[in-house]
Amino acid sequence: MAEYKKPIPQPDPHSQPFWDGAKEGKLMLPRCTTCNRVHWYPRLICPFCHSRDIEWIQGSGEGRIHTFAVQHRAFGGWADEVPFVTAYIDLNEGDRMLTVLRGVDPNKPESIKIGAPVSWPKAMRVLEVCGGEVLTVTEAEIAEALAIRPGTVKSRLSRGRELLARSMRGGETQ
């Protein structure tokens, strides 16, 4: 099993609700209670009205492709993945999020349509989120990876990362 080489963000108090939601398969988004606008990425001050009154809401996970690009060059942990597709998604809640599109053919960009609907997979749950990229495996795999059983947290995380790496390579996760 290859080692997971991509950078793993360190949650901070301002982004922790996002990471906690991701562990539960939820897309959590910050919303200003003064102007009622959702903003991405998490920060202390609303970028629209500069209020510090921020709450977290569960997003629908639905949106549309605003734009995309096929990445043919990368470094670090991403170098093994080229080509891959990055995209900005206009979320239904009103802001835009950068992600890596999965399940599309980077060698056929004409098949990817601006304005096409995308969604946080309904039959899938998030195992790990890295730099805005949502990586998914089936609920059964998550249950297996996160089940409470004898062993250390480190061994459970190792199994989760193993499933994640296999999923990212497009291989079977069974």
- pLDDT value at residue 160: 57
Domain range for 82: 61-120
CA distance 49 to 105: 40
Mean pLDDT of the chain: 76
- Whether 53 and 83 share a structural domain: no
Instruction: Determine whether 159 is exposed, middle or buried from the number of CB atoms within 10 Å of its CB (0-12, 13-18, 19+).
Output: middle
Q: What is the mean pLDDT of residues 100-127?
A: 76
Residue 145 has pLDDT above 50, yes or no: no
Higher pLDDT, 61 or 5: 61
- pLDDT value at residue 99: 86
C-alpha pair distances (Å), 26 with each of 10, 59, 126, 146: 19, 8, 8, 16
Find the DSSP H helices in 1-138: 16-23
User: Is 21 a member of any domain?
Assistant: yes
Residue 52 has pLDDT above 60, yes or no: yes
- Whether 131 and 172 share a structural domain: yes
- Whether 49 and 69 share a structural domain: no
- pLDDT value at residue 154: 43
Residue 109 has pLDDT above 80, yes or no: yes
User: Is 166 a member of any domain?
Assistant: yes
User: Is 5 a member of any domain?
Assistant: no
Higher pLDDT, 117 or 161: 117
Out of 39-53, 96-110, 145-159, which region has the weakest mean confidence (pLDDT)? 145-159
User: What does DSSP say about strands 62-71 and 124-130: parallel, antiparallel, or unpaired?
Assistant: unpaired
CA distance 60 to 41: 16
pLDDT tens per residue, range 11-49: 888 889 988 888 888 889 999 999 999 998 898 899 999
The three-point CA angle 26-96-7 to 5° equals: 65
For tokens 């991509």, the residue is 6
- pLDDT value at residue 128: 39
- pLDDT value at residue 164: 58
Out of 21-35, 67-81, 119-133, which region has the weakest mean confidence (pLDDT)? 119-133
- pLDDT value at residue 35: 97
- pLDDT value at residue 31: 96
Overall domain count for the chain:
3
Residue 77 has pLDDT above 70, yes or no: yes
Q: What are phi and psi of 41, to 5 degrees?
A: -100, 160
